[in-house]
Structure 1
Amino acid sequence: MIKKMQLPLQTMNLVLGFMVWVIISALLPFIREDIPVPADRVAILTAIPVVLGSVLRIPLGYYANIVGARVVFIVSFIALLFPVYLISSASTFTHLVIGGLFLGIGGAVFSVGVTSLPKYYAKEKLGLVNGIYGMGNLGTAVTTFAAPVIATQIGWSKTVQLYLVLLLIFAGLNVFLGDRKEVMVRTPIMEQIRGVYKNDKLWYFSLFYFITFGSFVAFTVYLPNFLVTHFELAKVDAGLRTAGFILLATLMRPIGGFLADKFKPLFLLMGVFIGLTVAAILLAFSPSIGLYTVGCLTIAVGAGLGNGIIFKLVPLYFNKQAGIVNGIVSMMGGLGGFFPPLMLSFIHSVTGQYAIGFMALSQVALASFIIVVWMYFQDKLSVSSKVFNSTGQGILVTDPNGKIHAVNPAFTALTGYTEEEVVGRNPSILKSGRQSKDFYTEMWTEIAERGSWQGEIWNRRKNGEEYLELLTINAVKDETGDIIHYVGTFSDITEQAAAGRATARTT
């Protein structure tokens, strides 16, 4: 029963963590009425919670394996009591900065669930499971929508104090409903990092999540204040629109995970980055509120789908190191939410508009699309390579002129010749001399007419031993019909042939 509770419990934990994470950005229009916040420091203040929320994801994901998700969630919620109380009683910009920094713990708990929950489900369901857990992003929508509404009734300070009650309640829920018997993984953190940091896919996934989750966080913290100042919307209206963005992105996350369970994740990710590229270009032209809404909602769909797809990819490529990789990838995503608001604020202060910032997003998304395409075809080549190297049949590939281009390990095992010894030479080095010239003439005539040939042939190993092989030769043609390779596959049938002859003699 406790094990079945972990997905809903940890998802609700993430909802609360994200609710706390964005308190300042959601209530900033109200806070600025009481505490002077210079315009050039608004972006810094809204981005500060993202810093610790990103950096802490690696140790929190690691300790979720060491002591279990239950303990990490309890400690995190108790630790959040301090910054939430400090913000509720803040009277200076410095108070907000200190409190905002430690609010990052709320965002860091994301890596706890993506590390813990895969222990409870089969690999083919992890896309959907991580997608459902990722719906905890909805916490940002809850705060963005509800906090301004409540603040208009009781004031922003008392609104923040309500979160103290929620943190205590959820700390208690984890005490009683958290899994005390979760499987622990105690591999030292540095050993885990050394095992993955040279893998280029780790950094590709980090870049992808930097863009998708970074876009989600950046728009979450940037939209409320931007809509008020740029389009002169009411604060509650701006909060509602931002909540809609968050809700759509959050709902797309499990859909992205589900689709990644059913279809090729990399192919889906191509569509995500094309969508982000087009949407960012649209936003770069500073359109009306209508077109701006279309662009933002497209960003929401792309970011949400991408977030779900990426956390399906991680356990596919990093089965044994999923915990540390989840921490690193999610950290990069969090940092992706830190830099764009600062960049947009700086660009706006210099140029008076946000166009260059959105164009930069479009170009980074386009570059990511190109990388995903490259990874997709690299994977296909990798599969072909694994088949080529692992098959038990000997394989040799020649160019159209008959010079050996490549051989597989089984070729070496069967013939005794290494790849270095045969590449660039003619397969005639294997000839035993038993077949006549007419035999080879008929064989190549059939290949020319039909594109393939199969039959038995005597060849000689490197040590001089003769053996009978079953050989198949196929001509490989390009799109224009020209032959670019010949591929020969063979197996040693000497013993089977001898056994067959012995059986024939006895009968």
Structure 2
Amino acid sequence: MIRKVQLPLQTLNLIVGFAVWVIISSLVSFMGEDIQIPADKVAIITAIPVVLGSVLRIPLGYYANIFGARIIFLISFILLLFPVFYISEANTYMDLIIGGLFLGIGGAVFSVGVTSLPKYYPKERHGLVNGVYGLGNLGTAVTSFSAPVVATQIGWSATVKLYLILLLVFAALNLFFGDRKEPKVKTALMEQIKGVYKNEKLWLFSLLYFITFGSFVAFTVYLPNFLVTNFDLTKVDAGMRTAGFIALATFMRPIGGWLADRFNALMLLIIIFSGFTLAAIVLAFSPTFTLYTVGCLVIAMVAGAGNGVIFKLVPQYFNKQAGIVNGIVSMMGGLGGFFPPLLLSYIHSVTGQYSIGFMLLSQVALASLILVLWMIYSDKLSLSSEVFNNTAQGILVTDPKGTIVAVNPAFTSVTGFEEKEAVGQKPSILRANRQSPDYYARMWKSIKETGMWQGEIWNKRKNGEMYLQWLNISAVKDKSGEDIRYVGTFSELPEGKAGK
């Protein structure tokens, strides 16, 4: 029973965490009526919760593996009581900055669920499970939509205090319904970091999530105030439209995860970052409100789907270090939501428009698209290398002049020649001189005429020992039909099996 409720419970936990995380950005227009907030500080105040919400994702993902999700969610909700109450009593914009920094705990809990939940499901369902958990992003929509509505009735301070009740309720739910028997993984933090930090895929996934989740957070933070100041919408209308953006992006997340369970995740990322590039270009040209809406909705769709796809890839490539990698990747996504609003605000203060900022987004998305294409190519090379190095047959590859350019470990096992000893030499280093020159002439005639030859042949090892092998030689041709390399594959034969 307890194990079955973990997915809905942890998803609701994330909804609460994210709802608290964006309290300030959703109510900043109301707070500005009672607190003097300099115009150039609004972007900082709304973005500051993202900082701790990003950095804390690494330790929370790590400790979720050690103590379990129940303890981490429980402690996080108790700690959030203090900054929420502090913000409700704020009198200066510095109070908002200090309280907002610690609101980041609400965003940091994301790495808890993506570390915990895969333990309960088989690999082929991880994309969908993490996508469903990602529905917790709706917490930002809940606050963006409801907080302004409630604040118009009871004021922003009382609205913030309502979140204290919500946090206490969910602290109790985790205390009683959290899984006390969740499997634990106890590996030193630095040991895990050392095991992954040199892996280029970690940083590639971090960059991709920096764009997808960062865009989601950035638009969530930036839209309410932007729609009010640039399109003269009411605060409630801007909140509702922001909630629509959040809802679309959030519901696309499990769809992205579901698609990644069934199709090539990297090919899906090609579609996603192509959409990012085009949508950002549309926004860069300061379109009408209708086109601006279309651009934002496309960003919501591709950002949400991209979030789901990436968190299908993380456990696929980092099964044993999922906790720390989830923390690092999700941290980078959170930071992706911190810097764009500040950058957009600075660009706007200098140029009076946001076009350059959106054009930068389109170029970063295009660069990400190129990197995904490179990763697909790299994976194909890696697969070829794995097959080459792990096949049981000996393999040697020569250039058109017959000079050895590559050998595999099985070649060394059979012949005794190490790779550095064989590369640069001719295959004649293996010749046992038990076949006549005419035998080799017929061999090469077959290769030139048919592109291949196979048969038994005597060779010798590095130590001079003779052995019989079954040898296949194939010519690799370019598009013009010219031989560009020769590939020989062989396996040793017992002498008793030699052909008569």
- TM-score under structure 2 normalisation? 0.97
Counterparts of 1:270-309 in structure 2, within 5 Å, are 270-309=270-309
Q: Which residue of 1 aligns with 2:80?
A: 80
Q: Which residue of 1 aligns with 2:122?
A: 122
Deviation at 1:437, TM superposition (A): 2.4
Q: Does 1:457 align with 2:457?
A: yes
Residues 496 and 221 of structure 1: CA distance in aligned 2, closer, same or farther (over 3 Å)? farther
Q: Does 1:246 align with 2:246?
A: yes
Q: Secondary structure at the match of 2:319?
A: coil
Deviation at 1:139, TM superposition (A): 0.6
Q: Which residue of 2 aligns with 1:359?
A: 359
Per-residue CA distance 1:101-128 (angstroms, 9 max, x = gap): 1111100100111111111111221111
Aligned counterparts of 1:195 and 1:392: Cα–Cα separation in 2: 29
Deviation at 1:496, TM superposition (A): 5.2
Q: Which residue of 2 aligns with 1:221?
A: 221
Deviation at 1:495, TM superposition (A): 4.3
Aligned counterparts of 1:234 and 1:450: Cα–Cα separation in 2: 77
Equivalent AA in structure 2 for residue 318 of structure 1: F
Name structure 2 gaps, 5 residues minimum. Answer: none
Equivalent AA in structure 2 for residue 455 of structure 1: G
Deviation at 1:429, TM superposition (A): 2.1
Aligned counterparts of 2:2 and 2:479: Cα–Cα separation in 1: 58
Counterparts of 1:45-64 in structure 2, within 5 Å, are 45-64=45-64
Q: Does 1:497 align with 2:479?
A: no
Aligned counterparts of 1:290 and 1:279: Cα–Cα separation in 2: 13
Deviation at 1:497, TM superposition (A): 0.9
Q: Does 1:396 align with 2:396?
A: yes
Counterparts of 1:140-155 in structure 2, within 5 Å, are 140-155=140-155
Aligned counterparts of 1:183 and 1:132: Cα–Cα separation in 2: 21
Counterparts of 1:63-212 in structure 2, within 5 Å, are 63-212=63-212
Q: Which residue of 1 aligns with 2:314?
A: 314
Aligned counterparts of 1:293 and 1:477: Cα–Cα separation in 2: 53
Q: Which residue of 2 aligns with 1:425?
A: 425
Aligned counterparts of 1:145 and 1:124: Cα–Cα separation in 2: 35
Q: Secondary structure at the match of 2:456?
A: strand
Aligned counterparts of 2:444 and 2:102: Cα–Cα separation in 1: 75
Q: Does 1:268 align with 2:278?
A: no
Equivalent AA in structure 2 for residue 374 of structure 1: W
Aligned counterparts of 1:326 and 1:72: Cα–Cα separation in 2: 15
Per-residue CA distance 1:67-119 (angstroms, 9 max, x = gap): 11101111111111111112222222122122211111100100111111111
Report how many residues are paired.
500
Q: Does 1:343 align with 2:343?
A: yes
Aligned counterparts of 2:421 and 2:161: Cα–Cα separation in 1: 76
Worse-matched range after superposition: 222-231 or 358-367: 358-367
Deviation at 1:383, TM superposition (A): 1.0
Equivalent AA in structure 2 for residue 219 of structure 1: F
Deviation at 1:270, TM superposition (A): 1.9
Aligned counterparts of 2:224 and 2:497: Cα–Cα separation in 1: 80
Aligned counterparts of 2:164 and 2:480: Cα–Cα separation in 1: 71
Please tell me the root mean square deviation across aligned C-alpha atoms, in Å: 1.4
Equivalent AA in structure 2 for residue 198 of structure 1: K
Aligned counterparts of 2:492 and 2:388: Cα–Cα separation in 1: 17
Aligned counterparts of 1:239 and 1:48: Cα–Cα separation in 2: 20
Ranges of 4+ aligned residues in structure 1 off by more than 3 Å: none
Residues 451 and 106 of structure 1: CA distance in aligned 2, closer, same or farther (over 3 Å)? same
Aligned counterparts of 2:146 and 2:189: Cα–Cα separation in 1: 39
Q: Which residue of 1 aligns with 2:477?
A: 477
Equivalent AA in structure 2 for residue 238 of structure 1: A
Per-residue CA distance 1:9-54 (angstroms, 9 max, x = gap): 0010000000000011111111112212111110000001101111
Q: Secondary structure at the match of 2:48?
A: helix
Aligned counterparts of 1:318 and 1:480: Cα–Cα separation in 2: 42
Aligned counterparts of 2:199 and 2:305: Cα–Cα separation in 1: 24
Worse-matched range after superposition: 69-78 or 152-161: 152-161
Q: Secondary structure at the match of 1:103?
A: helix
Residues 120 and 103 of structure 1: CA distance in aligned 2, closer, same or farther (over 3 Å)? same
Percent of paired sites with the same residue: 73
Name structure 1 gaps, 5 residues minimum. Answer: 502-507
Equivalent AA in structure 1 for residue 155 of structure 2: G
Aligned counterparts of 1:448 and 1:291: Cα–Cα separation in 2: 62
Residues 367 and 131 of structure 1: CA distance in aligned 2, closer, same or farther (over 3 Å)? same
